């Protein structure tokens, strides 16, 4: 017994002209046993990823943002940018938003006190 996995026909109009462009993808047939084996391997992979992610803290409640760090260090946003640029302060960027670990900010405070 064979399974038809994919058959896609996409219709797109080019620049509002009555001409059409058809893209047909080929049909892929695989045996049921092969399909089941693929699904089992994928499920095992998904479970493994979930298990690895369980140990990770997904929240950012212990991270600091730009405003927090500027207030803690009593510096401007431009100075904070300079600290990032020259490697004085480590940071992580998520979706164009910058976050800092509190321990990295503590290291900067220690460095500044030594000067």
pLDDT tens-place string over residues 30-63: 899 999 999 999 999 999 988 887 776 655 568 8
Instruction: Return all residues near 89 (Cβ < 8 A) that are at least 6 apart.
Output: 69, 80, 83, 100, 104, 105, 108
pTM metric for this prediction: 0.49
| Angle, alpha carbons 27-40-1 (nearest 5°) | 45
User: Which one, of 65, 74, 86, lies nearest residue 112 by Cα?
Assistant: 74
Q: Which two tokens stand for residue 40?
A: 């089992």
Tell me the per-residue pLDDT of 51-106, one tens digit each, with 9 for 90 and over: 887 776 655 568 899 999 999 999 999 999 999 999 999 999 989 999 999 999 99
Chain position carrying tokens 């803290």: 57
């Amino acid at each position: 017994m064979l399974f038809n996995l994919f058959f896609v026909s996409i219709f797109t109009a080019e620049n509002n002209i009555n001409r059409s462009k058809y893209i047909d993808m080929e049909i892929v047939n695989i045996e049921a046993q092969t399909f089941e084996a693929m699904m089992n391997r994928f499920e095992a992979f998904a479970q493994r990823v979930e298990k690895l992610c369980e140990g990770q803290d997904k929240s950012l409640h212990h991270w600091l943002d730009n405003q927090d760090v500027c207030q803690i260090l009593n510096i401007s946003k431009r100075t904070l940018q300079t600290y990032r640029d020259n490697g004085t302060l480590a940071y992580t960027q998520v979706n164009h938003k910058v976050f800092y670990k509190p321990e990295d900010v503590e290291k900067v405070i220690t460095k500044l006190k030594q000067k």
